[in-house]
Amino acid sequence: MKDNIVKIMKRHDILEMVYLAKDGNITKRRVKVIKANHDTFQAYCFTKQAKRTFYFDNILAAVPVIRKEREDVI
């Protein structure tokens, strides 16, 4: 999973993911990855409209957003 997210970051693509939060809630997020570390990555979250830190291990599913869909969101 980490390798795919790093590739998405290098291409400056937006990532859509299903994420398991610390409190156990499952959320669907659209993010733009800013930087990746060993266990975490920082991204701008379009859902929260803020920069957030995410754990790679908490990602349940992730796909890059197709550019056409991306234009509709931004």
Please report, for the domain that includes residue 24, its CATH number: 2.30.30.100
Phi and psi, residue 34, nearest 5°:
-100, -50
Query: Whole-angstrom Cα distance, residue 56 to residue 41?
Result: 7
**Residue 38 per-residue DSSP state:** S
Residue 33's domain spans which residues? 2-66
Confidence of residue 71 (pLDDT cuts 50, 70, 90): low
Q: Does residue 73 fall inside a structural domain?
A: no
What pLDDT score does 2 carry? 86
Contact 56, 41 (CB under 8 A): yes
Q: Does residue 71 fall inside a structural domain?
A: no
> Strand pairing partners for 63?
16
Q: The dihedral of CA 73, 55, 19, 49: what is its sign?
A: negative
Give the pLDDT confidence of 26-47 residue by residue, as tens digits. Answer: 999 999 999 999 999 999 999 8
Please count the structural domains in the chain: 1
Q: Does residue 74 fall inside a structural domain?
A: no
Confidence of residue 66 (pLDDT cuts 50, 70, 90): confident
